[in-house]
Structure 1
């Protein structure tokens, strides 16, 4: 197992001017790890509107075309969704292929997932590099998130934060309600991290058990929902943890409580959204399926 790169400064101090040099990722998760999209993700109940309403809009757009544009496959695949009773418009199940809808004024669900059809809304996945602050600007002149959003005209905000030295999945959006719900503790959206640390002789047998059962931190008990060892070679170990808490530096502090300082930390999942093989520093727009599932998870 290759050791993580080290030696780069942790902040912008000591520079004569300009931005600090770009830094390469210190950590690449094991390729054999594959998390299934949407595993354990609850589906939102179909919307209800009291009295039954006629979903058809004579001057609207064909429903299967709207579904295809939202990322639900070919026209034929979308027709199958409709005929299978898996699509609701304003709370009503639609079976007929000729139904036309108005995406701007009607609410559409597929398998309980609401479609986000507002074209002014944008939600991106960023693979944040190490050495980047989770802010759109930085008074110290360090690299910040504005570097990765310059091509978008919308004003985007980061959903939560990743530490300066932590890399991986960060959501950027201009959807204020979605951002609020994703960061609100009442919705308990879980997040997965892959953690690397020095472990001569391998990870202790009791480490994963301790993380699952909970460790005492200065601000209370912290418990991983799931934890497992991914790899170890006698020098280093890699452990994956999933938790729904968002306390400051909670993952690093949990390992520190057991005597381990993380040498690399990467977030690989937020709810149903996976980092996948997105290159470091790259962004991509959420698919319609991802966005619908994410919205369902926070009750939208």
Structure 2
């Protein structure tokens, strides 16, 4: 009976093997991951020891002291399993570069967003204008600065007097120091006091200063020979005296407006002719005559005798005037005209020192017959006058 059962089982297995043949070729081979018990040797990494469970506190009097656990020799590294370029998995001690780049990008974006939010918050905050109280001065300060005058507005008292035609700036300061000027009923002895002629009542030697200031006047004059450019000297004629007729008719043309006090911008000596600017605008005169403006001035020098090349070279090399070596910007021999017997030289300078052109020609061995200025910066005499 048992033999019969065994023969039946064998025949059943034989029939199953014939009808269901297994083909190993149909199975796909899977890649194998080789592991090693000594990973620190193969991959040159070390693993952090597992966290030990917290031990109960020991009583130093009853229990012995625990042994000190020594730290690992090398740095503790975390293993990273990544897929390489060949498609196989590998174990390395550093995170992949793509992960590091993504983390850095995320951190940078977060910083930019926080900075933008801070900037927006700072700009969106309304600025509160704090009202500042006017400064309180002592009684002595109020007496000194004449508190009945608003010092924050207006112009200097000496400048207002000079612009109104009272006198020159220096003469007006002397009048103020002498106590001959009153402002709003009080004697003012400080030329720096700020006043407004339209609001303040100003008296000079008992005469009321007009509220309206004269308008700015700018004149170009072809100065003749024999006139000086200063109105304070009496030994010769003044350039300002040439405008007497113009100033006399000022009241008829401009009723209610004080007559302007004219003065020259710069100077020309008595023997020199040509262009000179006349105005009553002190700020304009200061800007035009100050050395920082660096304006060039053009002269035509008529000389006696013949002019050779060595003379032009000597003039162009310059000369020393008052301890400063002065060199002209340009030197040119002008063509001789039929109606002129003498030679002419065009000389351009920018420093404008006293008698500079005359000294340049004199040091070159020439003698000037006449000297004429034809240009100051962008201002030039008309061709028929130059």
Q: Give me the TM-score of the superposition, normalised by structure 2.
A: 0.39
Which has a greater percent of helix? 2
Which of the pair has more CA radius of gyration? 2
